[in-house]
Amino acid sequence: NGDYRVAFFGAGGVGKSSIVLRFVKGTFSDSYVPTIEDTYQQVISSNQKNVCTLEITDTTGSHQFPAMQRLSVSKGHAFVLVYSVTSRQSLEELGPILLMLKEVKGNEIADVPIVLVGNKKDEASRREVPYETGVKLADRWNTGFVETSAKSNENIAELFQTLLSLEKKRQLAL
């Protein structure tokens, strides 16, 4: 079918749910509600079927049950790896997730769209991860890169555009 499945990964509290809710519903909340696992759908355009459903899975983060994590990966077409620019630790937690992606996807990994996202760019005074660090890591990992703020709605649509533009097998757009 025409579904295009995207899964979000990253440490708890980096803003995965906030990014997804900002994109899907246009809302933002300052309160933190830990996620179990939620899926959202959004209609996008595709050269193959005119319409396509973008299915977004918001995972609980890096401490999700490994079996559940691997299932989201095997079903997913594209991935968003989120850290917070206010936490160097949250960036370090993405390394094992990328390794797991490579392991589950095997040889296909080179064709799998992945975007590295540094969220909370509005928190300038609490920044621990420089923009350049994100750029360099994305270059090394061969992924897209964008810094976002779910709070001030910066680069949220751009994040999804970047991800869709990395898909080689079909032409997808918002």
The distance of closest approach from Cβ of residue 66 to ligand GDP in the complex, given in angstroms and rounded to an integer, is: 18
In this chain, which residue has its C-beta nearest to ligand GDP?
15
Among the listed ranges 23-31, 69-77, 101-109, 139-147, the one in contact with ligand GDP (CB under 6 A) is 23-31
What gap in Å lies between CA 60 and CA 62, rounded to an integer? 7
Nearest CA to 121 out of 88, 161, 84, 159 is that of: 84
Cβ pair 150, 18 in contact under 8 A: yes
The distance of closest approach from Cβ of residue 148 to Mg ion in the complex, given in angstroms and rounded to an integer, is: 15
Which residues 20-49 are close enough to bind Mg ion by CB under 5 A?
35
Q: Strand locations in the chain, DSSP E? A: 4-10, 38-46, 50-58, 78-84, 114-119, 144-147, 172-173
Cβ pair 80, 166 in contact under 8 A: no
Tell whether residue 38 is a contact of ligand GDP (CB under 6 A).
no
Pair of tokens at residue 10: 């990253």
Residue 36 amino acid letter: I
Q: Which does 150 bind (CB under 5 to 8 A by kind): ligand GDP, Mg ion, none?
A: ligand GDP
Tell whether residue 17 is a contact of Mg ion (CB under 5 A).
yes
Task: Supply angle C-alpha 140, 141, 143, rounded to 5.
Answer: 115
Tell whether residue 120 is a contact of ligand GDP (CB under 6 A).
yes
Q: Which of 4, 6, 17, 78 binds ligand GDP (CB under 6 A)?
A: 17
Q: Which does 77 bind (CB under 5 to 8 A by kind): ligand GDP, Mg ion, none?
A: none
**Applying CB under 6 A, which residues contact ligand GDP?**
10, 12-18, 29-32, 35, 61, 119-120, 122-123, 149-151
